[in-house]
Structure 1
Amino acid sequence: MRAEMLSIGRAQAELSGAPVAKGLGEWAAGLSEEGRYAEAADALTELVEAILPAGPAGGALAWSLLEWIATLHNAGRYGEALAAFETLVSMEAADAANDRGSMASHLYSLIGYAQMLGTHGRGQQAARVRQEALALLTELSDSGERTSWSGYQASFWAVLLSFPGAEGDRPEPGEPRPSSGAVPMRWSPDVKRRYFDSRHALQEEVDALAPRAVEDPDRHLAELVRLQRVLTIRSAVYWQDRTHLFAEHVRPLFHDGVDLAGRLAKCDPADGTRTLARALIDRSTFHAAAHEFRLALDDFRRALRHLGEPT
């Protein structure tokens, strides 16, 4: 059906001279859910190249860029994904500077960009981007947002939190999965149901593994940290658009993630310290999404100290 919609959209665009065919985004999302990332990335590249010249378009472009970045990454096109991420960061910076967008969204884009840079061995560049994030978060801690915004920033945060590789998630082969970089309202109903229902099984796994991680941390603690993060991210995505009290539903999960990562850092200082820094950055972005900017700054500075970077 999506393919048919796109075919009709292409015919209409050809007749009208429209820059982009209707249905292209929906087609890309469906391909992504099926794990057909190379095709989805091509479709999103066509979409973004058509709409990019028109500029931010009231924020619509940013959501398309998020999907494009995530899908390029899942397709293994890492250089293109990083270049697209730089485009997003630059756009968010310009919007925030001109009061067309929130400073918090700029912050989340910087932190997500730094994480992807670090994942692909560009540690020095990642450190420079984190310093930009530190300066921005310091300003938010001192004076807050310059302008009052609607709640879209929390959705922006949740999408970036669950970016490719962020969860340490391992989807079942052949099963549909959430469309890369898309907000849940764009997911198919069965994908949404499977993703969110999995939180209950994940909680059971975490509860069952916790005592074993105490008895034998060398064997079980790293896996417990991974599962806890998957549970935290899925819960954050679930709650952030359901109630203004979303922070109270997920706050304990972020605290538990930092506590577990702290235990791992004591058992395995080399890998555990970086894991602790990541958990602190996760919690920092959560505090920012909850408008707790001073707490966010405290966690971010702690994370930078663990990474050996200026604070």
Structure 2
Amino acid sequence: MNHSRKVDQDDIVRARNVLLASGRRTPREEADAYRVLAQVGPAAYLPLLARALQRLSYDTGSGRKHASALALSEEAVAVARSIDAAEPTRADVLYRALDASQRELYDVGRGAEGLVMRAEMVDIGRAQAELSGAPAVRGLRGWAAGLSDEGRFAEAANDRGPKLCHLYALIGYARMLDTYRRGEQASLARHEALTLLTRLADTGERNTWSGYQSSFWGALLAFSGAERDRPAPDGPRPPSGAAPMHWSDDAKRRLSGSLHALREEVDALAPRAAEDPDRHLAELVRMHHVLTVRSAVHWERRTHLFTEHVRSLFDDGVSLARRLYGHDPAEGARALARILIDRSTFHAAARDLGPALDDFRQALRHLGEAD
């Protein structure tokens, strides 16, 4: 925009009167007034003009888009770009203008141009995240979705979130592949997880540790443990893949209320497994695993000190699985590998990345996948 040309003083007075008038002004009147005033006071009025153009492009009263919505959104982007780079609000104003414009471009079938704007939004989000130290990057999800729409799946997978969450997702993905008998792909996913975990053990998490990493771990742990769990037939199943904080109150109560009875069942089964391992040891390993998973999910959502409440359960589970492996190597190897991987993710959630890596390597050896 050209802010240097002279503006008629009558136009300036009229524009100010429109904005100061007590009566209701239309979005068109507001945008026209800011167009005039932005030429004499760009620092004050350019951000207001950009927002006014976005409001004009969509009539909230009627719920309909303006016939020139795309042109108005593009004008808003041009206005936002013309704001002085030293202005602290410029990035936010430009981000919102780009967001509105990319939606219009996608709506008229010009997705390639919309994706370019999404990429610029990510650049703004990254710059803001670096300045603030925030782990989240604005615009990343929309940009990844746009890349996926164009079939650029490898680029769409460039997650900049916590690496630990990527690790947990890879491990869960490998288990899903195993479930559907896609062993070769599962092994590849586990080796990708091993590479990532090795790097993490060496350099640590790149983002600030927060409750998000452990919450994500708890959600995937509950999901992975569901196939071995056998909830009461009259009760709701916990929502698979949802963080425990988002479960219904009923599901949370049932989880918490089940722990004491389940502990008693495990304790009662232990002497029978010692006397007759052929009949009871595998079931004891399964039930102890259920107890461990339920306890970990229960305590993770209650306190940041959850690791102290469940550490011994993970250790006992590995010991039981080793007993099963010694008694029945064929059945025990996979059970031991699974429980070692669970303890590996627990160590990672507890920020003990060295032990996490040790457990994961042991698990791969028992699966016959060690390098």
TM-score w.r.t. the length of structure 2 is: 0.58
Question: Is 2:343 aligned against 1:279?
Answer: no
**In the alignment, what sits opposite 1:136?**
196
Question: Is 2:231 aligned against 1:171?
Answer: yes
Relative distance call for 1:126 and 1:261 in structure 2 (3 A) is same
Cα distance in 1 for residues equivalent to 2:289 and 2:166: 23
Shift of 1:219: 0.6
Relative distance call for 1:61 and 1:305 in structure 2 (3 A) is farther
Q: Which has the higher contact order (CA 8 A, sep 6+)?
A: 1
Q: 1:259 aligns with which of 319, 325, 328?
A: 319
1:133-170 Cα shifts (integer Å, max 9, x gaps): 00000001111012323220101011111115545011
**In the alignment, what sits opposite 1:233?**
293
Tell me if the contact between 1:167 and 1:230 (Cα under 8 Å) persists in the aligned partners.
no
Question: Is 2:263 aligned against 1:199?
Answer: no
Question: Could you say what secondary structure the match of 1:168 adopts?
Answer: coil
Q: Aligned pair count?
A: 236
Tell me if the contact between 1:163 and 1:180 (Cα under 8 Å) persists in the aligned partners.
yes
**In the alignment, what sits opposite 1:94?**
158
Matches within 5 A, 1:145-164: 145-163=205-223
Higher helix residue share: 1
**In the alignment, what sits opposite 1:310?**
370
User: Structure 2: which 5+ runs fail to align?
Assistant: 1-59, 66-114, 126-135, 141-151
Question: One-letter code of the match for 2:216?
Answer: F
Root-mean-square deviation over aligned CA pairs: 3.1
Cα distance in 2 for residues equivalent to 1:223 and 1:60: 47
Tell me if the contact between 2:171 and 2:193 (Cα under 8 Å) persists in the aligned partners.
yes
Relative distance call for 1:218 and 1:106 in structure 2 (3 A) is same
Relative distance call for 1:241 and 1:163 in structure 2 (3 A) is same
Cα distance in 1 for residues equivalent to 2:179 and 2:139: 25
Shift of 1:88: 11
Cα distance in 1 for residues equivalent to 2:208 and 2:139: 21
1:82-107 Cα shifts (integer Å, max 9, x gaps): xxxxx99986x512xxxx31110000
Q: 2:355 aligns with which of 280, 295, 301?
A: 295
Cα distance in 2 for residues equivalent to 1:155 and 1:281: 18
Tell me if the contact between 2:255 and 2:298 (Cα under 8 Å) persists in the aligned partners.
no
Question: Is 2:185 aligned against 1:125?
Answer: yes
Cα distance in 1 for residues equivalent to 2:245 and 2:194: 31
User: Structure 1: which 5+ runs fail to align?
Assistant: 1-11, 18-52, 63-86
Relative distance call for 1:16 and 1:242 in structure 2 (3 A) is farther
TM-score w.r.t. the length of structure 1 is: 0.69
Shift of 1:61: 11
Cα distance in 2 for residues equivalent to 1:239 and 1:125: 33
Tell me if the contact between 1:88 and 1:109 (Cα under 8 Å) persists in the aligned partners.
no
